[in-house]
Amino acid sequence: MRLLGDINYEIIKENPKIFVGYSDITALLMAILKMTGLITFHGPMVRGLTTRNQGNWENLLHAISSTEPLKVSFLEGTTLVEGKADGKLMGGNLSMLCHLVGTSYFPSLDGCILFVEEKGEALYRLDRMLNHLRLSGQLAGLSGLILGGFEDCTDMPAIKDLMVDILSGLDIPLVTGLPVGHGLKNLALPLGLPAKLDADSKTISLSEAAVI
């Protein structure tokens, strides 16, 4: 986040490149998207492209080179609130998203499908971060929410209960199990593109290709 105010976004806009990362890199992905309108990619970094997780490299290569819209299935997830949603796909590390709220580098989440991931946070900290997003009005306009990996956090049943409680009254689909984040499997997803979420079949379908 310390870099955001010193970046020349006009140069980036005039010379488009592919920006990929996750965790703290969420701050850069959101800022570049907001300030330039360019699509960024939430996905693996170099150390996540070893032979232990070869699928990450294959997925990343497909995401940044295919001229066909992507479709992601995460059948091992759990549907907590059924339904379908349309909106721009946004997301990343929950802590980074919370700290960007109120800055000029945070894109609007109105009408968006949001996914979040986290690592090593206790339940009370997750509760605090989610309530910060709720109280700041960032959750009110969402069309759907997806939970990615919550590695080394508290037990998932408690996190699921917390999510259902925080989102009660919003009437939006809520599903878990998206393979993104600090786990072994970290699929690349383009941020800022129109998408469709089907919480019942646990799929995300992008409406257009991520690259030209």
Residues designated as active site: 23, 117, 182
**Distance of CA 147 to CAs 73, 102, 192, Å?**
14, 23, 18
Give the E-state strand segments of the chain in sequence order: 20-21, 40-42, 71-73, 79-81, 84-93, 113-119, 144-151, 174-176, 189-191, 194-198, 203-206
The set of residues, in sequence order, having a beta carbon less than 8 Å from that of 159 and lying 6+ positions away, is 123, 126, 147, 150, 153
The sheet that has 20-21: what strands, in order across it? 20-21, 40-42, 189-191
Six-digit token string for 182: 């600090």
Q: Pairing mode, if any, of strands 113-119 and 144-151? A: parallel
Determine the 3-state secondary structure of 123 from DSSP. Answer: helix
